[in-house]
Structure 1
Amino acid sequence: MRELPAGRMDSLLPFKDVELQDRAWIEERLKQSDFKSCDYSFANNFIWRKPNRIEWADVNGFYCLKSGAEGQIAYTYPAGSGDIKPVILALMEDAAERGMGFRLRGMNLETVKLMQTLFPDQFDYSNHRDYCDYIYSVERLTTLRGKKLHSKRNHIARFKDNPDWAYEDINAENINDCWDMNTEWCKIYKCYDDESLNHEACAVKQAFKYFFELGLRGGLLRLNGKVIAYTMGEPLSSDTYVMHIEKAFPEIQGAYPMINQQFLIHNCQDFIYVNREEDLGDEGLRKAKSSYYPDFLLEKYEATLKNPQA
């Protein structure tokens, strides 16, 4: 752990790769903060560590993340408990040592207010629609009640017209069947010909490879014995579940809403909310996520220095 006296700025921080052996320490800090944002998931940080160049450091017992290529690095608001001001100062000094502007991401309104108290008039704060998390009521997505979700109920009814369908939780016996389905899905969508899909494919491969070590949970749908949809997620906070991955064959009506609903029924009834992550500005994702009418969009703020040269 890098220990910093209160108010002291130190130089370059010892950032390192996110590794499985770090999971227990990191998840304890995430539990202390209890954030609802998908940015605060060890599994998410781990599977995306290479595509997004994610590294972490222990600063005064806080979990500190940086991501991005040199010159485009951003830091994530630290997770943990205690005096956060010297930790923020250390991140600012780290950015200065790297010769780049300081950007701190992932803040909610509560942490923005704390930053304004600790650093009055030092930062500008902004949020971008592309990075808002979609948060839904588990109860509402399970029952799909109401006129707005009538079409989802219809799609599920059409899927259930198939006489030979089955839901299973992902386990050691069926995970390879899911991987085979994912491989076929990637061929359909030409994952490796598109940079964004290629990055996602790398993250998904890590999720499959380390599914059990990461504490992930998942579910699959079979039709006539063949896997045609699957999903993966994990508990995120005391009241929120997060879904990281969801795939279905597009030609099968109702497969997406069905795997969504069935997983919630079997795994998420002890949670109030489910976080289905951001849309990252993708029009297709935005339409799909919006079609479930989120209870709210979790805004994530970014802080930048007002006078970076001062």
Structure 2
Amino acid sequence: MEKFKKITIEDKEILGKYLGMRSHRACDYSVGNLVLWSEVYDTRYTIAEDMLIIMFRVDEKVNFSFPMGKGDLKKAFEWLFAYCEEQGIPFEMNIIEPDMFDEIENIYPGEFEIRYNRDHADYVYHMEDLKNITGKKYHGKKNHINKFLKTNEDWTYEPITDSNTEECIEMVKEWCVQNGCCEDKSKAAEICVLIKGLQLREELGMSGGIIRINGRIIALTMGERSGDDMFIVHFEKAFAEIQGAYPMINQQFVLHELSEYRYINREEDMGIEGLRKAKESYYPAFMAEKGILVRKEQA
């Protein structure tokens, strides 16, 4: 594993350079996402054949990203095959988008197969839909927002800045207590990552927004640009007792900060029924599929 370096905030420039050389839609291929979750997934990277290759390790299982850069894709694959053989680990790639699989199939026809998992597909929306919330299909969302406006006259929206970051962190900690994070490892991990993101927001070029009621932060969201036309929303938290807080922060953030983008990626639902229902209710423009690539003899 010594050829792969652990990802830290110091690697943001080189990661951004290589990730920016290719069009992709998956939320996983963003600098902020890679840096913030590096401890959870033991995320590492290397530059081989002038191509960026990312390694993920979860529960002792290792897999790799699609090589990105200006180098020779086949040479990068051959380097990775040799590395896996040297380390005695099976070759497996993850976060492979359909067009990536097409390129692999062109180089190695019939040698690999891809397995897509609906739970891991990202929901990608038209910005205008999330901004305007108009039309019959958004009638329910509009009702939630109207109820919020009717019952909360003293509300304000503002972007996340250095001056309110500490308040945001305190709000997230309060949300954590209310939602039983101490008994749920995945929730606790996400909260730690979110707090780290708030602390590194400016360094990572991330942006976010908050809603206050009577001066108290009751909802926040944060994410980052991906490519020329898409923004990825990495985090969104609101207090459950405030009806309409989630659709309100969703719309207000897009309205105030994201009008320049064509698409908004709101990440996957992880197979959680309630989360899937909520994400589907916003009617995505498309799903950004991501698959696991294996050799056919491994299947």
Normalising by structure 1, we get a TM-score of 0.92
Residue 248 (structure 1) aligned to one of 228, 238, 263 = 238
Q: Is the 8 A contact 1:56 1:63 kept in 2?
A: yes
Q: Is the 8 A contact 2:207 2:222 kept in 1?
A: yes
> For residue 106 of structure 2, what is the aligned residue in structure 1?
117
Correspondences of 1:209-220 after superposition (within 5 Å): 209-220=199-210
Partner-residue secondary structure (3-state), 1:244? strand
CA RMSD of aligned residues (A): 1.5
CA distance in 2, matches of 1:70, 1:283: 24
CA distance in 1, matches of 2:178, 2:36: 23
CA distance in 1, matches of 2:182, 2:50: 39
Partner-residue secondary structure (3-state), 2:66? strand
**Amino acid paired to 1:154:** N
CA distance in 1, matches of 2:61, 2:192: 21
2:34 aligned with 1:35, yes or no?
A: no
2:169 aligned with 1:179, yes or no?
A: yes
> For residue 228 of structure 2, what is the aligned residue in structure 1?
238
After superposition, the Cα gap between the structure-2 partners of 1:70 and 1:92, relative to the gap in structure 1 and judged at 3 Å, is farther
> For residue 159 of structure 1, what is the aligned residue in structure 2?
148
**Deviation, structure 1 residue 129:** 0.4
Unaligned runs of 5+ in 2: none
> For residue 87 of structure 2, what is the aligned residue in structure 1?
98
Count of matched residue pairs: 298
Partner-residue secondary structure (3-state), 2:171? helix
Q: Is the 8 A contact 2:65 2:93 kept in 1?
A: yes
Q: Is the 8 A contact 1:165 1:221 kept in 2?
A: yes
Unaligned runs of 5+ in 1: 1-11
CA distance in 2, matches of 1:29, 1:137: 26
> For residue 62 of structure 1, what is the aligned residue in structure 2?
51
**Amino acid paired to 1:18:** I
**Deviation, structure 1 residue 177:** 1.1
Q: Which moved more, 1:139-148 or 1:61-70?
A: 61-70
**Amino acid paired to 2:182:** Y
Normalising by structure 2, we get a TM-score of 0.96
Q: Which moved more, 1:83-92 or 1:223-232?
A: 83-92
Residue 197 (structure 1) aligned to one of 187, 190, 210 = 187
> For residue 96 of structure 2, what is the aligned residue in structure 1?
107
Q: Is the 8 A contact 1:52 1:68 kept in 2?
A: yes
**Deviation, structure 1 residue 46:** 0.7
CA distance in 2, matches of 1:70, 1:228: 35
**Deviation, structure 1 residue 125:** 1.3
**Amino acid paired to 2:153:** P
> For residue 293 of structure 1, what is the aligned residue in structure 2?
283
**Deviation, structure 1 residue 222:** 0.2
**Deviation, structure 1 residue 274:** 0.3
Deviations 1:122-163 (A, max 9, x none): 111110001100000000111111211111111111111211
CA distance in 2, matches of 1:208, 1:230: 11
After superposition, the Cα gap between the structure-2 partners of 1:289 and 1:189, relative to the gap in structure 1 and judged at 3 Å, is same
Q: Is the 8 A contact 2:53 2:64 kept in 1?
A: yes
**Deviation, structure 1 residue 70:** 6.8
Q: Is the 8 A contact 1:34 1:238 kept in 2?
A: no
Deviations 1:205-234 (A, max 9, x none): 211221111111000000011000000011
CA distance in 1, matches of 2:192, 2:80: 29
Partner-residue secondary structure (3-state), 2:274? helix
CA distance in 2, matches of 1:159, 1:258: 8
**Runs (4+) of structure 1 moved beyond 3 Å?**
none
> For residue 216 of structure 2, what is the aligned residue in structure 1?
226
Partner-residue secondary structure (3-state), 1:211? coil
Q: Is the 8 A contact 2:18 2:51 kept in 1?
A: yes
**Deviation, structure 1 residue 54:** 0.9
**Deviation, structure 1 residue 71:** 4.2
Q: Is the 8 A contact 1:178 1:230 kept in 2?
A: yes
Q: Is the 8 A contact 1:13 1:94 kept in 2?
A: no
CA distance in 1, matches of 2:59, 2:79: 18
2:246 aligned with 1:272, yes or no?
A: no
2:298 aligned with 1:305, yes or no?
A: no
> For residue 7 of structure 1, what is the aligned residue in structure 2?
none
**Deviation, structure 1 residue 29:** 1.2
